[in-house]
Amino acid sequence: MGAVVIAPPQPAVELDRTPDLVDLVSAARDAGEDVMLFERAVPDAVSIAGIGRRFDIVSSATGAALQDDRGSVVASEQGPGRLAAAARLWARLSADSDLGTGPAGTGLIALGGFAFDPGREPAGAWAGFPAVLFRVPRLAVARVRGRTFATGDLDLLEQPGSWRGPGARRFEVESVRAEADWMDSVSEAAQRLRAGEAEKVVLAREVMAHGDGVVAAGPVARALRNAYPACFTFLIAGADGTAFAGASPELLLRRTGGAVASQPMAGSTARGNDDREDDALAARLVASVKDRAEHQLTASHVAAVLAAACVKLEVGQPEIVRFTNIQHLATSVSGELRQPTPRVLDLATLLHPTPAINGSPPDAARRLIADLEGLERGWYGGAVGWLDGRGDGELAVAIRCGLLYEDGARLYAGNGMMPDSEPRAELEETRLKLRVLLGALST
């Protein structure tokens, strides 16, 4: 297949003001525009908001298709693998496009992500989200090291205000599956792991939150950013009026030129009331045989995959990283990529899913998930982020997240199960993780 030539995006323009990206996408969504947001409020991070649609790279029955703003297919790639087909299509799209020489986040840019299982179209509540979707927006606004650049239709910077109903203040929260039943699955998972079916499996829970008013995606994203500033805040509008939002702590991949980085996380504990209690909880996590073994499976998988693509790889020691209400074991992995340098989406096809959201070995863990979990994950456990035409980009693991409706949300949290997992402790850990979204819904 040859390159796909499209009209190049307008040159990036540096703005003399820095619009709040959440406010921008919130107003655009209220005005009926398609919106996407990937933001991290740390100094050197790249944050991008996308408004409108020029092109979509979207999964198809046979691979991936490039669609224009009317949904007509412009080009396609056949399998195997929908995510791999999307990666090849993005490479074709980038090959003859004017990529520009501006900073990261400018030129040919796509935002989006993919489902936990990119090989199968999500069903049920996830009908508005294809298995893979990366969108070239009509307007991309990127904040890079304190500077802000806009690429595309600058008229979209000015969004009209619009009315929406009163926001929800109270929620009725119910587990989609009875907690006792879920704990029974944890017990069975541990038993089957002890019997040797797998080394680890991740089981997730789903809860429904029904509000007494409107659940607006923009304010939810703003609350998540304010409460979890060190996380990746994301918001992706679905085709059916839903929105996928979250605050992920975990970097799946970052590619910058010839450099690649990942920070796998597995093993969690709560935050304390003060530094002393924080340190005590962290020490207990580090000393936990179960949590260290679980973490090592994930870190080793990421290191092995990236080592095959690198001429040099550095793997750090497990360390504690702290967020607003939770602490994780994390390992930093960074490397120098081989030539010809693989693109970030090519690397994602090799790395996803990691044991942090699936288990190990991969196929055995998938079978246990299918047998025991009992929910449609959709994009939960997939990845969200951005790509550029130069092959750079950043993808976060889609966790600490929920699917938002007009008056409610489906929220997701999962844990890694090991042979010695204790059901009550695993349930409490999912409750801790679910607080991320529950606290943001009524803010």
Catalytic residues: 200, 250
Task: Report DSSP letters for 253-307, one per residue.
Answer: EEEETTEEEEE-EEEEEE--SSHHHHHHHHHHHHH-HHHHHHHHHHHHHHHHHHH
95-132 b/e with 16+ CB inside 10 Å = b?
eebebbebebbbbbbbbbbbbbbbeebbeebbebbbbb
Break the chain down into helix, strand, coil percent, rounded to 5: 30, 35, 35
The one-letter code for the residue type at 331 is T
Tell me which residue of 238, 210, 176, 186 sits closest to 378, measured CA to CA.
238
- Residues 428, 431, 433, 436, CA torsion sign: negative
* Residue 56, beta-bridge partner list: 67, 135
For 132, the token pair is 């893979």
Tokens of 40: 């991290």
CA angle 341, 301, 92 (to 5 degrees): 30
Specify the length of the chain in residues: 443
DSSP at 278: H
What region does 152 belong to: left with phi over 0, alpha with psi -120 to 50, or beta? left
Please name which of 65, 49, 160, 27 lies closest in space to residue 111, comparing C-alpha atoms. Answer: 49
Tokens, residue 175: 């587990």
C-alpha–C-alpha distance, residues 78 and 85, integer Å = 6
